[in-house]
């Protein structure tokens, strides 16, 4: 197949669904790791077309959603300073902190700018030598190489007024944490294809063996997801727990060598707090020692900011796959995209936003 619409072909989708139904003899709970996969599943109604016993559990793979509240508050504190230009991707501006968001800082006079690449922020720093320019660097392994390259370039070019507020997280430790939870129901994973396109697949076979769960690397279009589900169900029915790559057009086992080299140059692994989940050991990156002078958290002395999550928002349980978004009492009432309580309702990849966009009327009818 060459064209994107071919990956939504209804005839091929029906054949895959027929194969999934034919292969399924018992109940299985599968987790799609990535928020982009969640949106595709809900938008196309894939979960409603599966056999009755096959449940899709929505995982924590939305970078905006898992960015912890205290990091948001640190970004807000930095953005409120008079001499700072804070640059961010647009989806972070509406993520609520403890009392406000970056849009509120901007409307109050703060210099907050949306950029489309971290290198844009570096150019802004070169154009504004009298200002401190901070890039808010979040995300999984997918966005990290470009951020690492930007830090590397800032160091190489001696751009002293640039720094980065880093909140990068890693997928495999999160999968391990999910499997080790006493409330875990996950029996198989659809792994995030774009993460594996950067990092390769070498970290996943040990996870599959240790936790006895099949892991299938999957893309984001309807046929990609159905093929991933089909392969996962077949493994479960046969009692196998292996890594399979159902996204070979984008993922190679060795990953992107150049990107991984840059990541090792700039970052080192550290413990990270995930919003709504808590601290997961060795689940993130921070700037390595030779780049610490570009660490905005140190430069602006905001490391001691600590905050508590909202008691009304159950996004942590959504991110862990313990509840579906509509099972939160605040969903669609106290929490909407216009006035969100948590990042899962704000982000374009958030599970709550997906349910609000595509299932809201079903939820209202059920209530």
Residue-range domains of the chain with CATH: 4-60+179-245 (3.40.50.11750), 65-170+255-299 (3.40.50.11740), 315-366 (no CATH)
Angle subtended at Cα 219 by Cα 96 and Cα 228, rounded to the nearest 5 degrees: 115
For 55, the token pair is: 């449940």
Helix (H/G/I), strand (E/B), else coil: 270:
strand
Average pLDDT over residues 332-341: 87
- Which residue has tokens 């905001």? 302
Residue 99's CB is within 10 A of a number of other CB atoms, namely 9
Average pLDDT over residues 284-305: 93
**H helix runs in 80-220, sequence order:** 102-107, 118-127, 144-156, 171-180, 193-199, 204-211
pTM of the predicted structure, to 2 decimals: 0.90
pLDDT score of 278 more than 60: yes
**H helix runs in 159-271, sequence order:** 171-180, 193-199, 204-211, 222-238, 257-266
For 185, the token pair is: 């129901």
Average pLDDT over residues 29-56: 94
CA distances from 233 to 31, 42, 216, 225 (A): 12, 19, 10, 12
The burial of 82, by beta-carbon neighbours within 10 Å (0-12 exposed, 13-18 middle, 19 or more buried), is given as exposed
Q: What is the pLDDT of residues 130-187, one digit of tens each?
A: 999 999 999 999 999 999 999 999 999 999 999 999 999 999 999 999 999 898 999 9
């Amino acid at each position: 197949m060459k064209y994107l619409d071919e990956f939504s072909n209804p005839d091929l989708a029906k054949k895959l669904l027929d194969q999934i139904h034919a292969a399924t003899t018992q109940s299985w709970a599968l987790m799609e790791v990535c928020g982009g996969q969640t949106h595709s599943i809900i938008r196309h109604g894939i979960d409603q077309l599966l056999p009755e016993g096959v449940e899709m559990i929505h995982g924590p793979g939305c970078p905006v959603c898992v960015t912890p509240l205290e990091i948001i508050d640190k970004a807000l504190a930095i953005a409120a300073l008079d001499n700072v230009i804070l640059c961010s991707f647009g989806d972070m501006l509406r993520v609520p902190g403890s009392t406000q968001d970056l849009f509120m800082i901007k409307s109050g006079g703060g210099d907050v700018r949306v950029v489309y690449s971290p290198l844009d922020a570096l150019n802004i720093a070169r154009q504004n030598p009298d200002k401190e320019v901070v890039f808010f660097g979040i995300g999984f392994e997918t966005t990290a190489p470009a951020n690492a390259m930007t830090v590397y370039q800032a160091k190489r070019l001696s751009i002293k007024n640039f720094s980065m507020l880093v909140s990068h997280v890693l997928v495999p430790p999160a999968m391990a944490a999910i499997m080790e939870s006493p409330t875990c129901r996950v029996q198989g994973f659809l792994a995030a294809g774009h993460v594996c396109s950067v990092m390769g697949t070498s970290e996943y076979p040990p996870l599959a063996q240790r936790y006895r769960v099949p892991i299938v690397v999957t893309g984001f279009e309807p046929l990609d997801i159905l093929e991933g589900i089909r392969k996962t169900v077949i493994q479960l029915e046969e009692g196998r727990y292996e890594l399979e790559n159902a996204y070979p057009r984008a993922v190679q086992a060795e990953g992107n060598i150049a990107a991984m080299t840059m990541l090792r140059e700039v970052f080192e692994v550290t413990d990270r707090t995930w919003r709504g989940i808590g601290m997961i050991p060795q689940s993130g990156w921070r700037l390595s020692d030779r780049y610490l002078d570009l660490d905005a958290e140190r430069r602006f002395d905001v490391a001691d900011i600590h905050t508590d999550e909202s008691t009304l928002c159950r996004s942590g349980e959504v991110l862990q796959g313990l509840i579906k978004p509509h099972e939160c009492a605040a969903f669609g009432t106290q929490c909407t995209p216009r006035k969100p309580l948590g990042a899962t309702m704000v982000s374009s990849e958030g599970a709550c936003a997906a349910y609000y966009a595509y299932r809201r009327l079903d939820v209202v009818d059920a209530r």
